[in-house]
């Protein structure tokens, strides 16, 4: 589209060649700033999805078409519920911000490839409608939708949710023992105290398996390698800050080392805990969800440490073998409080006490 | 000179600066026009009172309006000619304002009014004479706010000023007028600064220049030697918007923090733009009042982007014509007076250039930011980049739901309106606009409370 020369202001003394001037009637009139940088909300969600691709590929590699089935059902039903809510609430469709699609993919990655379709659909309903839209949609939800969806599925359909497929043997020969059918974390929980099994879990053979992802578990959680690639890409693309994942992983490492030091034989080693279960997926992709994590860097570190401690406590002492989604949701509940106490001091307020908590005064008007 | 310690302020960002567009070209002078509309109110404070009547003959630099109060400056005619009507023209801030029309008379348009004598021996001239000259020449801050310079140079006795800071940061993208001025007139700028230092009686002059202007930095450093009795230090600053913000600049150079609501003089500093220093030099040594400035006319749609010497009162259309107009296949979405971060969008081509028009920027429609105000993701980018370290996301949500009491508790009044938080927001929230509204509401509220107290 080219602007026609609207007028030539000083035509009487015009220079030889014609000078084009913009048409003031077509100008945009809005206050500063006039430029913007960085990706928009939708693009950020797309980048997160892009960084999940290595983990998606690994899940297809190890769990085959069953994994694809679960992922498609979760993604489509999440998108559908989002759309349905928008229609019922009489709002413009919010599908274009890709947050529902991302929730769907994360939810799919959080469950076993053997999960029945109805459980997936019910989980999607909880994730999108109950955990997100009821609060007012994107940006308003206090809890991570995918984590809430997964918890609902885990508690509501405990039977189907704890059946795990045996991963296809891609890189290693099939494991001889019967443990592959369950998640290593589950097995470690049951067999804790039996020195022999712990030895197996700390062996380099098993740890390599866990690193590559050839172990039982939820379909997107197993390959620590793929998740690390995606997580580092997320940090490199500046979609997330490194503080939260590092705080979580660091806390888990320290906590497990301490437990191993003071009461050896209670639980497998640090590497086992870092590489198995939902820890990688949770710390890079779910705990870092912007809406439900603290705003400041300082707050992010506190939040990460909290998640790390909770995960270890649930894994080692709790009755559930895995506690990533529980820890994330629990810490989500504390985010407003963390935000309140981890405030940065405004520039030039060194000696002035800021952000003191006062009883809420009445509205101005 | 030992390298000065630089204090990095937290936050800020560096958008693509597009400075190459205009900085590579020589400064050109615009041709004379038959008619100028000189805005009456070009300064912060009271607008000056017109002291000429229609039909009066004026020379270039003749006084056409007298200061109305202490915080006010006189106004001068940009060309020789006849005084026309007192008009109402579209102003640079969006509202119509009063302007004096000057119809130039052709041949002797360039003849200067010689009422202001050059003061060549300024080193031996008393400070109050120099200050009077700065006032008489109508000098204001030429970076943005147009605060009268003589007021800045008159700190009250209880707030002694010991440091003069020259702002050559020019952190706004696209703008290069200060850059070219420092490259070509370093000596004049520093002489102006030395005069200001003499008026203030300070012993320390800092010149802050962003690190991406190497040539300007070298020129200034070379010229700095022995120019003033005060110690002159030229300091390269990190390239980061808003490095040229008054508070950020003072902190970067001295480590002093201006608390919210205070002025630079509270921490013993006075900040002058390099353009204002050049104007001081011109006023004192040549006896020329401020009627002309270097303005960047730039943007991708402009045929010949560059820096131009433009007389005050030149309409925007004429300035654009001087820069060759716009390209044939361009779709101009916005015309901005000032930079893209803090400038004002214009709706008319009749807006005249005034003392603080540091740039005229044209943006393609596709380059213009659209803030549609999506839901806040609490991603923390705004908080991370806020140069004042405010809880922007909380504030923005509070303002959106008209909880101005919460906004006040979270220090909305400290906001600089630098625009960084809006620029980086993934949800494209108009944060700055929210804060402007909150500030206005809080001001009104304060006024109401005051009135109530008086009533009792």
* Cβ contact B332–A354 (<8 Å): no
DSSP E strand boundaries for B105-256: 163-168, 204-210, 231-237
Tally of CB atoms within 10 A around A87? 10
* Residue A10 pLDDT > 60: no
Higher model confidence: residue A170 or residue A240?
A240
Structure confidence at residue A211 (pLDDT) = 87
Cross-strand bridge partners of residue B237? B210
Domain positions in chain B are 1-368, 381-455
Is there a cis peptide before residue A283, judged by omega within 30 degrees of 0?
no
* Residue B344 pLDDT > 50: yes
Structure confidence at residue A3 (pLDDT) = 42
Q: Rounded to whole angstroms, how far apart are CA atoms B97 and A109?
A: 62
List pLDDT tens digits, range A188-234.
Answer: 655 544 455 677 777 888 888 888 888 877 887 878 999 999 999 99
Tally of CB atoms within 10 A around B169? 28
pLDDT band at A186 (very low <50, low <70, confident <90, very high): low
* Cβ contact A39–B259 (<8 Å): no
Q: Please provide the size of chain A in residues.
A: 365
* Residue A249 pLDDT > 50: yes
Q: Which residues of A touch B328 (CB under 8 A)?
A: 2, 20
* Residue B95 pLDDT > 70: yes
In this prediction, what percent of chain A has a pLDDT beyond 70?
A: 83
Q: Which residues of B touch A133 (CB under 8 A)?
A: none
* Residue A324 pLDDT > 50: yes
Structure confidence at residue A70 (pLDDT) = 93
List pLDDT tens digits, range A13-23.
Answer: 444 567 888 88
The separation between CA A91 and the C-alpha centre of its own chain, rounded to angstroms, equals: 26
Q: Assess B78–A contact: CB distance below 8 Å, yes or no.
A: no
Q: Quick check: A168 and A60 in contact, CB under 8 A?
A: no
List pLDDT tens digits, range A117-138.
Answer: 999 999 999 999 999 999 988 8
Structure confidence at residue A353 (pLDDT) = 44
The separation between CA B23 and the C-alpha centre of its own chain, rounded to angstroms, equals: 18
Q: Rounded to whole angstroms, how far apart are CA atoms B414 and A124?
A: 44
Q: Record the tokens describing residue B280, joined without a space.
A: 């001081």
List pLDDT tens digits, range B320-337.
Answer: 999 999 998 889 999 999
- Those residues whose C-beta lies under 8 Å from the C-beta of residue B347, and which sit 6 or more positions away, are A24, A27, A29, B90, B94
Tokens 């005060």 -> residue: B230
List pLDDT tens digits, range B223-273.
Answer: 988 888 888 999 999 999 899 888 899 999 988 888 877 888 888 899 999
Lowest mean pLDDT among A22-36, A153-167, B146-160, B272-286: A153-167
Structure confidence at residue A223 (pLDDT) = 87
The stretch B28-57 carries a mean pLDDT of 89
Q: Quick check: B403 and A15 in contact, CB under 8 A?
A: no
Candidates B35, B252, B323, B377, partner chain A, best to mutate (most A CBs within 10 A):
B377
* Cβ contact B389–A345 (<8 Å): yes
CATH of B1-368, one of 3.40.50.11540, 4.10.520.10, 3.30.450.20, 3.65.10.10: 3.40.50.11540
Q: Quick check: B383 and B424 in contact, CB under 8 A?
A: no
pLDDT band at A172 (very low <50, low <70, confident <90, very high): low
pLDDT band at B349 (very low <50, low <70, confident <90, very high): very high
Q: Assess A4–B contact: CB distance below 8 Å, yes or no.
A: no
Tally of CB atoms within 10 A around A354? 13
Higher model confidence: residue A217 or residue A243?
A243
Tally of CB atoms within 10 A around A14? 12
pLDDT band at A12 (very low <50, low <70, confident <90, very high): very low
Structure confidence at residue B134 (pLDDT) = 93
Q: What is the mean pLDDT of chain B?
A: 90
Q: Which residues of B touch A33 (CB under 8 A)?
A: 340-342, 369, 419-420, 422-423, 432
Structure confidence at residue A38 (pLDDT) = 87
pLDDT band at A354 (very low <50, low <70, confident <90, very high): very low
pLDDT band at A334 (very low <50, low <70, confident <90, very high): very high
Q: Record the tokens describing residue B268, joined without a space.
A: 């013993």
Nearest to B257 among A21, A138, A350 (CB): A350
Q: Quick check: A6 and A20 in contact, CB under 8 A?
A: no
Helix (H, G, I), strand (E, B) or coil at A358: coil
* Residue A244 pLDDT > 90: yes
Tokens 């560059």 -> residue: B306
Given phi > 0 = left and psi -120 to 50 = alpha, else beta, which region is A62?
alpha
The stretch A169-186 carries a mean pLDDT of 58
Q: Record the tokens describing residue B309, joined without a space.
A: 């010497």
With b for 16 or more beta-carbon neighbours within 10 A and e for fewer, the B170-200 pattern comes to: bbbbbbbbbbbbbbbbbebbbbbbbbbbbbb
Tokens 């099994």 -> residue: A197
Q: Assess B364–A contact: CB distance below 8 Å, yes or no.
A: no
List pLDDT tens digits, range B354-380.
Answer: 998 999 999 999 999 989 888 999 899
pLDDT band at B410 (very low <50, low <70, confident <90, very high): confident
pLDDT band at A175 (very low <50, low <70, confident <90, very high): low
Backbone angles phi, psi at A95, to 5 degrees: -60, -30
Distance from CA of B443 to the nearest CA of A (A): 13
The nearest alpha carbon in chain B to A290 belongs to B379
Nearest to A28 among B368, B379, B424 (CB): B368
B376-to-A140, A149, B397 alpha-carbon distances in Å: 8, 22, 8
The strands making up B231-237's β-sheet, listed across from edge to edge, are B231-237, B204-210, B163-168, B269-273
Q: Rounded to whole angstroms, how far apart are CA atoms B326 and B348?
A: 16
B328-to-A4, A19, B216, B325 alpha-carbon distances in Å: 8, 9, 34, 9
Q: Rounded to whole angstroms, how far apart are CA atoms B404 and B396?
A: 10
Distance from CA of A39 to the nearest CA of B (A): 6
DSSP string, B273-313: EHHHHHHHHIIIII---S-EEEEEEE-TTBSS-EEEEEETT
Structure confidence at residue A179 (pLDDT) = 45
Structure confidence at residue A352 (pLDDT) = 46
Q: Which residues of B touch A294 (CB under 8 A)?
A: 380
Nearest to B423 among A27, A35, A358 (CB): A35
Backbone angles phi, psi at A355, to 5 degrees: 55, 40
* Residue B177 pLDDT > 90: yes
Structure letter (DSSP) for residue B113: P
Q: Which residues of B touch A24 (CB under 8 A)?
A: 335, 346-349
Nearest to B388 among A32, A34, A346 (CB): A346
Structure letter (DSSP) for residue A184: H
- Those residues whose C-beta lies under 8 Å from the C-beta of residue A75, and which sit 6 or more positions away, are A101, A104, A105, A108
Q: Assess A202–B contact: CB distance below 8 Å, yes or no.
A: no
Q: Assess B363–A contact: CB distance below 8 Å, yes or no.
A: yes
Q: Which residues of A touch B387 (CB under 8 A)?
A: 347
Least Cα distance to B185 among B101, B109, B277 occurs for B277
Q: Rounded to whole angstroms, how far apart are CA atoms B51 and B220?
A: 39
The stretch A154-167 carries a mean pLDDT of 79
The separation between CA A231 and the C-alpha centre of its own chain, rounded to angstroms, equals: 10
Backbone angles phi, psi at B406, to 5 degrees: -65, -40
* Residue A105 pLDDT > 90: yes
Q: Which residues of A touch B318 (CB under 8 A)?
A: 9-10
pLDDT band at A165 (very low <50, low <70, confident <90, very high): confident
Structure letter (DSSP) for residue A361: P
For residue A18, what is the enclosing H or E element?
A: none
DSSP string, B341-386: TT-EE-S-TTPBP-TT--EEEEEEGGGS------------HHHHH-
Angle at A216 between CA A213 and CA A218, to 5 degrees: 85
Q: Quick check: B376 and B429 in contact, CB under 8 A?
A: yes
The separation between CA B137 and the C-alpha centre of its own chain, rounded to angstroms, equals: 17
* Cβ contact A35–B15 (<8 Å): yes
């Amino acid at each position: 589209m080219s602007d026609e020369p609207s007028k030539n202001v000083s035509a009487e003394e015009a220079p030889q060649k014609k000078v084009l001037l913009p048409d003031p009637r077509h100008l945009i009139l809005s206050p500063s700033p006039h430029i913007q940088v960085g990706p928009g909300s939708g693009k950020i969600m797309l980048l997160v999805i892009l960084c999940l691709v290595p983990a998606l590929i690994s899940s297809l590699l190890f769990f085959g078409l069953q994994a694809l089935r679960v992922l498609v059902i979760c993604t489509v039903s999440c998108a559908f519920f989002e759309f349905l809510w928008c229609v019922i609430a009489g709002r413009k469709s919010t599908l274009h911000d890709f947050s529902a699609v991302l929730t769907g993919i994360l939810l799919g990655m959080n469950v076993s490839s053997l999960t029945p379709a109805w459980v997936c659909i019910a989980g999607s309903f909880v994730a999108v409608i109950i955990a997100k839209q009821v609060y007012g949609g994107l940006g308003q939800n206090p809890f991570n939708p995918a984590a809430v969806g997964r918890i609902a599925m885990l508690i509501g359909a405990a039977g189907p949710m704890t059946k795990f497929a045996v991963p296809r043997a891609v890189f290693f020969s099939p494991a001889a023992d019967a443990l592959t059918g369950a998640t290593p974390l589950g097995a470690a929980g049951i067999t804790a105290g039996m020195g022999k099994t712990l030895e197996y879990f700390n062996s380099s053979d098993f740890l390599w398996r866990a690193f590559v992802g050839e172990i039982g578990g939820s379909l997107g959680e197993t390959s620590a390698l793929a998740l690390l690639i995606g997580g580092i890409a997320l940090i490199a693309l500046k979609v997330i800050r490194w503080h939260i994942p590092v705080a979580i992983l660091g806390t888990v490492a320290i906590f497990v080392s301490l437990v191993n030091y003071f009461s050896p034989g209670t639980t497998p080693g640090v590497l086992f805990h870092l590489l198995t279960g939902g820890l990688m997926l949770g710390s890079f992709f779910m705990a870092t969800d912007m809406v439900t994590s603290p705003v400041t860097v300082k707050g992010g570190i506190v939040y990460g440490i909290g998640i790390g401690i909770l995960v270890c406590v649930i894994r080692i002492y709790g009755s559930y073998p895995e506690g990533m989604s529980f820890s994330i949701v629990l810490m989500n509940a504390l985010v407003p409080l963390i935000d309140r106490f981890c405030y940065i001091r405004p520039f030039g307020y060194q000696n002035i006490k800021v952000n003191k908590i006062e009883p809420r005064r009445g509205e101005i008007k | 000179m030992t390298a000065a310690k630089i204090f990095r302020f937290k936050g800020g960002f560096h958008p693509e600066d597009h400075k190459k567009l205009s900085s590579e070209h020589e400064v050109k002078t615009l041709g004379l026009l038959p008619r100028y509309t000189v805005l009456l109110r070009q300064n912060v404070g009271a607008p000056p009172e017109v002291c000429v009547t229609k039909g009066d003959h004026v020379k270039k630099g003749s006084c056409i309006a007298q200061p109305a109060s202490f915080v006010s400056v006189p106004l001068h005619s940009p060309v020789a000619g006849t005084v026309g009507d007192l008009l109402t023209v579209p102003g640079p801030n969006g509202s119509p304002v009063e302007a004096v029309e000057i119809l130039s008379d052709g041949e002797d348009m360039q003849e200067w009014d010689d009422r202001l004598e050059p003061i060549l021996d300024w080193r031996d001239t008393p400070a109050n004479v120099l200050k009077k000259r700065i006032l008489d020449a109508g000098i204001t801050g030429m970076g943005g706010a147009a605060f009268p310079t003589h007021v800045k140079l008159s700190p009250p006795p209880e707030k002694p000023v010991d440091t003069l800071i020259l702002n050559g940061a020019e952190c706004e993208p696209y703008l290069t007028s200060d850059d070219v001025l420092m490259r070509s007139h370093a000596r004049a700028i520093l002489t102006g600064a030395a005069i200001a230092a003499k008026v203030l009686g300070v012993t320390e002059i800092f010149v802050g220049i962003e690190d991406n202007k190497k040539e300007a930095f070298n020129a200034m450093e070379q010229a700095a030697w022995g120019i003033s009795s005060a110690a002159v230090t030229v300091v390269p600053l990190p390239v980061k918007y808003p490095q040229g913000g008054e508070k950020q600049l003072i902190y970067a150079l001295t480590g002093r923090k201006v608390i919210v609501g205070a002025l630079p003089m509270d921490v013993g500093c006075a900040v002058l733009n390099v353009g204002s220093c050049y104007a001081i030099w011109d006023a004192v040594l040549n006896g020329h009042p401020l009627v002309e400035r270097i303005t960047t006319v730039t943007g991708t749609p402009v045929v010949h982007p560059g820096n131009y010497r433009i007389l005050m009162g030149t309409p925007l259309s004429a300035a654009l014509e001087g820069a060759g107009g716009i390209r044939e296949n361009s779709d101009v979405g916005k015309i901005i007076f000032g930079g893209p971060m803090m400038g004002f969008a214009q709706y008319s081509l009749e807006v005249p250039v005034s003392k603080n028009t540091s740039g005229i920027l044209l943006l393609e429609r596709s380059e213009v930011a659209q803030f549609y105000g999506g839901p806040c993701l609490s991603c923390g980018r705004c908080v991370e980049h806020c140069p004042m370290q405010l809880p922007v996301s909380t504030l923005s949500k509070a303002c959106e739901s008209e909880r101005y009491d919460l906004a006040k508790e979270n220090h909305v009044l400290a906001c600089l309106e630098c625009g960084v938080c809006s620029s980086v927001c993934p949800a494209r929230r108009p944060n700055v606009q929210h804060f402007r509204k909150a500030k206005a509401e809080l001001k009104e509220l304060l006024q109401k409370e005051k009135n109530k107290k008086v009533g009792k």
